[in-house]
Chain A
Amino acid sequence: MSVNQISVFLENKPGTLNRMTRVLAEHDIDMRALSLAETKDFGIARIIVDDVIAATTVLKEADFVASLTPVLAFDIPDEPGGLARLLDTFTAAQVNIEYMYAFLGGKKVNRATMIFRVADTKHAEAALVSRGLRPLSQEDFE
């Protein structure tokens, strides 16, 4: 039940992130989560959106280079220990995290959404599900 994250190449200069968000805005695409990774020379915007197909199409038309990456998303209570408890299960399942980012609030009050990129998404997902975790699906973001 992984979620499709869109990764977008951003040249390191003023206005590129702005242009990307403008393209999504003009096509009425809602971002549910966003994270930026950067080196000295370029960046990658990682976004979870409500309509993946529309977003990839309009980004490509606007000459952005983008790719889809499967990530795991979990809904946790926004309270002390919420993430720690979730990660206890990751540790127990021996799942290694490549990167993650958090998204607070959203449509549910007092909840937070955690996005994880792991090496072997399918294997990690099965291990986590068998320990009682329920990852969010693409539909949860629509």
Chain B
Amino acid sequence: MERYFQEEIECASREQIKKIQDERLVKQVRHVWDNVPYYRAKMEEKGLTPDDIQSSDDLYKLPFLSKADLREAYPYGLVGVPLKECVRIHSTSGTTGKRVVAFYTQHDIDLWEECCARAIVAAGGTDEDVCQVSYGYGLFTGGLGLHGGAHKAGCLTVPTSSGSTERQIMFIMDLQTTILCCTPSYAAYLGEQMKEMGYGPDDIPIKAGIFGAEAWSEEMRRDIEKTLGIKAFDIYGLTELSGPGVAYECSVQAGMHINEDHFIAEIIDPDTGEVLPEGSQGELVFTSVDKEAFPLIRYRTRDICTLTREKCSCGRTHVRMAKPKGRTDDMLIIRGVNVFPSQIEAVLIKQGYAANYQIIVDRVNNTDTLDVQVEMTPEMFTDNLGEVADRQKSLEAGLKAMLGIKAKVSLVAPKTIARSEGKAVRVIDKRRI
């Protein structure tokens, strides 16, 4: 029996959803026009006024916002309400440049937490569950977002935040945690540690995990599910839009349902900006429709994926997005070829290695080099030099087949690649371009 947090909206008819989106978008554009001069200037540049937007059918007319706009407008340039109405900020990790700061009114926090609660309930969460939130608390949206969602879903919330792995495991076992929220790489690490401590999948009380904030592969999902004995659910979001919960997986796990009563999704051609028909692969663009403090119109996520409105057997009607193939800024261009870390991860896991790896890109004699460091495991090691060398070659062949370019595999000693408690650092790009 599929359970819902807000059935009337999660399972609303497509007509109802369109009606909500149309009404809210018209209001949102008016709100932005009146209160965000930065975006108003962009609209004026295109000769647009709020009257040009009568429904979501007119969305394509509106100018895009990009991360560069957010940086340019930093810190207050896109805030749509007086600061006295704002109750909180969150911020991106700033790994790809200047931090982005997002603002929230109480209304914005509530809608965000409701989105997270939908995700938790879709993963099977009820008021009987113990939900351990091992995402980092603080500026990062992961911790406080799922924390608020767990409250709204009625779970007993265990706010461990990230880190202190031994304490995490103690709480999991002592409090009999049933739902775990963290990054997939940390879930894999927790699994590895618990296995080492002698806990098998049957000993671990967790039944479901809600993992997001970084790209992860289907292979990694199966790996985590096996080690922890759980069902692993993907969750998607961006700080710019609120945080995790913009989209989430249901029990069917055939894409993530986007909370369309709050966000309108489009897929565009990243080069031309043209809206692509349903099912096409392209860049995901979001428009918030009922945010107060940080309304974003046509925000380019740089995530590459596809959308489908095909009916989902879980009963939810909201559009589903495929797992992003990678973020355009996670994407590496090596010798002119687009390479996503998630592709490398898929090859490693398929061949029996742990999802702990590091990608080192360098430029030697004007040619890009790709070196993938993989940790040796007891399972993969034998005394036979030729056999180990063959496994290394088979990894290199697998990577070549997946990526289309040559990669060198280096086998390194166990535990030499740093474990991450938040987002994993997968790529070291030493190129000076």
Interface size on B, residues (CB 8 A): 17
A88 within 8 A of B: no
CB pair B411 A63 closer than 8 Å: no
CB pair A37 B385 closer than 8 Å: yes
From B378, B383, B385, B411, name the one whose CB has the most chain A CB atoms within 10 angstroms. Answer: B383
Residue on B with the closest CB to A39? B389
A44 within 8 A of B: yes
Which residue of the partner chain, among A16, A39, A64, contacts B385 with CB atoms under 8 Å?
Answer: A39
Which residue of the partner chain, among B388, B414, B415, B416, contacts A44 with CB atoms under 8 Å?
Answer: B388
CB pair A7 B383 closer than 8 Å: yes
Which residue of the partner chain, among B382, B389, B414, B415, contacts A67 with CB atoms under 8 Å?
Answer: B382
Residues of B407-433 contacting chain A, CB below 8 A:
410-416
Which residue of the partner chain, among A16, A39, A41, A69, contacts B413 with CB atoms under 8 Å?
Answer: A16
Give, as a whole number of angstroms, the nearest-CB distance from B81 to chain A: 53
CB pair B415 A41 closer than 8 Å: no
Residue on A with the closest CB to B414? A63
B376 within 8 A of A: yes
Give, as a whole number of angstroms, the nearest-CB distance from B131 to chain A: 33
A9 within 8 A of B: yes
CB pair A44 B376 closer than 8 Å: no
A65 within 8 A of B: yes
- Produce 1/0 per residue, B387-413, CB < 8 A to A: 011001000000000000000001111
CB pair B413 A64 closer than 8 Å: yes
Q: Give the CA-CA distance A128 to B389 in the complex, in Å.
A: 31
User: Do A65 and B385 contact each other (CB < 8 Å), given the known contacts A9-B376, A41-B392?
Assistant: no
Give, as a whole number of angstroms, the nearest-CB distance from A111 to chain B: 26
Chain A residues, CB < 8 A from B413: 9-11, 16, 63-65
What are 17 A-B pairs with beta-carbon distances under 8 A?
A5-B383, A9-B376, A9-B411, A9-B413, A11-B411, A11-B412, A41-B410, A41-B411, A42-B376, A42-B392, A44-B385, A65-B376, A65-B377, A65-B381, A65-B413, A65-B414, A66-B381
Q: B residues near A, CB below 8 A?
A: 376-378, 381-383, 385, 388-389, 392, 410-416
Which 4 residue pairs are nearest across A and B when measured between Cβ atoms? Answer: A7-B383, A69-B383, A11-B413, A65-B381
Q: A residues near B, CB below 8 A?
A: 5, 7, 9-11, 16, 37-39, 41-42, 44, 46, 63-67, 69, 117
